[in-house]
Structures are given as structure tokens and as C-alpha cells.
């Protein structure tokens, strides 16, 4: 039998794949609660179920970054309403996965617009068009961004300045780094999995090779003391951190590619490459079966390097 934690992990990332989440919801997930945590400069994050939601709640500007699932999106929206007297200026999606955009429809009537990278609406629609699991109804049309950008987007919102930047393919082919410039806080979406094996969405254009560059470029573009909000973290580990966390993930992805390159050079098969863990220095990374495991990561790395 699954523990509640395993259920949550699996349902979140099944949603990310756009496959089994509808089934998971049909099984009535356990009641969830949400927590608001303040960072600085009127920013902070909300934790419920799925990818961390970032926020700016200031007297002259309201921004929400990602929406988790419908149930936790409602909790987040209620919490924001109780903390603010104005409507939400902008909703940002860091990328298209269902555990970051599943609550978009809940927020839609309450936001001035939804912003994401130009590749995100198409990826979201493609995921929603995938055949539903047997016996499940097809999903409702997804609520997608009505504003998109290609490389960099920047705008003042009240006294804050919001910046989105696309560094090329990494976790998907539509990941934004979302920076509250004055607060010196950046939401990484799923470009950051803290101390756990990441989901790498190769069918949506992911690239481990470029992901390494993205993390390095992000560190270069930000101050030494920028606080980063992560999409996900190992149980018990923080969902925020500093540039050291980004560089550790860069090192992890580099180690994944190094091991895989050697396996290919040694003539190993994909199945053999998948058994080459644990990775030295990263033995404590969280395994979240069935998908978020080192074996899966090594298999995807094998596919990337072989192509
Ligand atoms: Zn994701």
C-alpha cells in the first residue's frame, strides 16, 4: 500500500506527465492544507501540493507564480485575498506541467493576465490532448497563458520589477526564471529540484546538457545573495536556498552526463546504464518511484547523448 507521501508524489508527477493525474483525482486525494511563508520585499511562497507557488503581495502590486492543482490553488487564492485588498495583477506560469498550471482555471477570473514563455501554451495543450487513462473522461481544455514572451520580459509592478528570462531548453523547452528584482528573490520553477532526482521531460524538449548551462547563467545573472525558490525539494529539505543549491544541481547533472558518457563509451546498453547508481556525492538524493529515480534519469541521459 502506498503511503500518503508516495501518493502525493506520484499524483503530482503523473500530472506533470499529463497521463494519470485524472485517475488520481478521481480517487479523491486526501484533504490538503497550504502554508504561506514570507521571504523579503513583500515576496514569499505557498506550499500545498505540487510545485511551490511564489507570490508578491504588496499594497501596489500582486503577482502569483504557478498554481499547483485546483484544490490547493483555491487555498492559495483564499489566503491571498485575506492578505490583500487589490486584485491580482499577473499570474505567471514557470512552465506547462500540471502540478504548476493545474490551478490556472481557479485563478483565471481573479487575475489581470497569465504570462508564460512562448512554448508553454502549446506544450500545455499537447499534454491535455494525450489520451486519458482507460475509463477516464477526457480533460477539460487547459487554461493557458494569454501573454507570452520569447527571451526576456520585464515590467514594473507597483514598486517591484518583475523579470522573466528564458535560457533555452532544460527541464522542458519552456522554463522561465522569474525574478522579483528589487526583492532579490527568484522563482526557479522546476529548474530546481533540491536534493532529489528531477523529472526531465524529454518529449517536451528537455535538455540535460543545456540545463547545466541554464543554472550557471542564472547564477551569473543574479546577485550572490539572491534567494531562490525551488519547484520541489527532498522531504525535509527547504524549497528555498541560495546559489550554492543551484551549483550543486549543476554538479549533479554534470555527474549524470559523465557517468552516462562513460557507459556509452564502454558499449553498455541503456538498461545497463540505468543501473550505474548511486552517484558519488549524491547518494543522499531522494528517490521517488516510479519515475523520479536515478535509474530513470540515467535512461533519459542515455537517450539524450545517443541522439
Ligand atoms: Zn515540471
Nearest alpha carbon to residue 18 among 111, 117, 115, 125:
125
Please state whether 37 falls in left (phi above 0), alpha (psi between -120 and 50) or beta.
beta
Per-residue pLDDT tens over the stretch 32-74: 889 999 999 999 999 998 899 999 999 999 999 999 999 999 9
How many whole angstroms separate alpha carbon 10 and alpha carbon 21?
9
Tell me if 270 is assigned to some domain: no
What pTM was estimated for this model as a whole?
0.89
Q: How far is the CA of 192 from the centre of ligand 1 (A)?
A: 10
Cα of 124 to ligand 1 centre, how many Å? 11
Q: How far is the CA of 12 from the centre of ligand 1 (A)?
A: 9
Q: Residue 125 falls within a domain, yes or no?
A: yes
Supply φ then ψ for residue 91, to 5 degrees.
-110, 130
Would the pLDDT of 24 be above 50?
no
**Residue 25, pLDDT above cutoff 50:** no
Look at 3 and 170; give whichever has higher pLDDT. Answer: 170
Q: How close is the Cα of 72 to the center of ligand 1, in Å?
A: 17
Going by pLDDT thresholds of 50, 70 and 90, the confidence category of residue 12 is: very low
Is 266 among the domain residues?
no
Give the pLDDT score at 23: 38
Q: Please give the average per-residue pLDDT across 224-235, as a whole number.
A: 97
pLDDT above 80 for 5 = no
Domain count, the chain: 1
Q: pLDDT band at 11, cuts 50/70/90? A: very low
Query: What domain range is 103 assigned to?
Result: 4-242
Q: Would strands 152-157 and 160-166 be described as parallel, antiparallel, or unpaired?
A: antiparallel
* Predicted confidence (pLDDT) per residue in 267-299, tens digit: 999 999 999 999 999 999 999 999 899 999 999
How far, in Å, from the CA of 190 to the mean position of ligand 1?
5
Ligand 1 is a single-atom ion; what residues have CB below 5 A from it? 16, 97, 190
- Whether residue 31 lies inside any domain: the answer is yes
Note whether residue 195 is domain-resident.
Answer: yes
| Bridging pattern class, strands 114-117 and 147-149 | parallel
Residue 272: inside a domain, yes or no? no
- pLDDT, tens digit, for every residue of 156-208? 999 999 999 999 999 999 999 999 999 999 999 999 999 999 999 999 999 99
Cα–ligand 1 centroid distance for 232 (angstroms): 9
Q: How far is it between the farthest Cα atoms of the chain?
A: 63
Does 274 fall in a domain?
no
Provide mean pLDDT across the span 129-157. Answer: 91
Domain at 43, CATH number:
3.60.15.10
Question: Is 13 part of any domain?
Answer: yes
Q: What is the pLDDT of residue 2?
A: 32
Which residues contact residue 179 at a Cβ distance below 8 angstroms, ignoring those fewer than 6 apart? 162, 163, 164, 165, 185, 186, 187, 222, 226
Name which residue leads in pLDDT, 177 or 17: 177
> In this predicted structure, what is the pLDDT of residue 50?
85
pLDDT category, 77, cuts 50, 70, 90?
very high
99-129 pLDDT, tens digit per residue, is 999 999 999 999 999 999 999 999 999 999 9
Q: What is the DSSP letter of 203?
A: G
Ligand 1 mean position, distance from CA 3 (Å): 22
pLDDT for res 27 = 56
Amino acid at each position: 500500500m502506498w503511503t500518503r507521501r508516495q501518493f502525493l508524489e506520484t499524483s503530482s508527477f503523473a500530472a506533470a506527465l499529463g497521463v494519470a493525474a485524472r485517475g488520481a483525482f478521481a480517487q479523491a486525494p486526501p484533504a490538503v492544507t497550504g502554508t504561506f511563508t514570507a521571504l523579503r520585499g513583500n515576496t514569499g511562497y505557498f506550499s500545498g501540493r505540487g510545485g511551490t507557488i511564489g507570490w508578491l503581495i504588496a499594497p501596489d502590486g500582486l503577482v502569483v507564480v504557478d498554481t499547483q492543482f485546483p484544490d490547493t490553488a483555491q487555498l492559495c487564492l483564499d489566503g491571498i485575498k485575506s492578505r490583500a485588498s487589490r486584485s491580482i495583477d499577473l499570474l505567471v506560469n514557470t512552465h506547462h506541467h500540471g502540478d504548476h498550471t493545474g490551478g490556472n482555471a481557479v485563478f483565471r477570473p481573479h487575475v489581470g493576465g497569465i504570462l508564460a514563455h512562448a512554448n508553454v501554451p502549446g506544450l500545455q495543450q499537447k499534454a491535455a490532448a494525450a489520451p486519458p487513462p482507460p475509463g477516464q473522461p477526457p480533460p477539460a481544455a487547459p487554461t493557458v497563458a494569454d501573454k507570452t514572451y520569447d527571451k526576456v520580459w520585464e515590467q514594473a509592478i507597483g514598486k517591484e520589477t518583475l523579470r522573466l528570462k528564458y535560457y533555452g531548453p532544460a527541464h522542458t523547452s519552456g522554463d522561465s526564471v522569474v525574478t522579483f528584482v528589487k526583492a532579490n528573490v527568484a522563482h526557479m520553477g522546476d529548474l530546481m529540484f533540491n536534493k532529489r532526482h528531477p523529472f526531465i521531460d524529454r518529449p517536451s524538449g528537455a535538455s540535460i546538457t543545456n540545463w547545466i548551462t541554464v543554472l550557471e547563467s542564472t547564477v551569473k545573472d543574479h546577485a550572490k545573495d539572491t534567494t531562490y525558490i525551488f519547484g520541489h525539494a527532498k522531504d525535509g529539505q527547504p524549497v528555498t536556498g541560495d546559489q550554492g543549491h543551484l551549483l550543486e544541481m549543476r554538479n549533479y547533472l554534470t555527474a549524470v552526463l559523465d557517468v552516462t558518457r562513460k557507459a556509452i563509451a564502454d558499449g553498455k546498453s541503456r538498461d545497463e546504464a540505468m543501473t550505474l547508481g548511486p552517484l558519488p556525492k549524491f547518494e543522499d538524493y531522494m528517490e521517488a518511484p516510479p519515475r523520479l529515480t536515478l535509474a530513470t534519469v540515467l535512461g533519459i541521459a542515455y537517450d539524450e547523448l545517443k541522439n
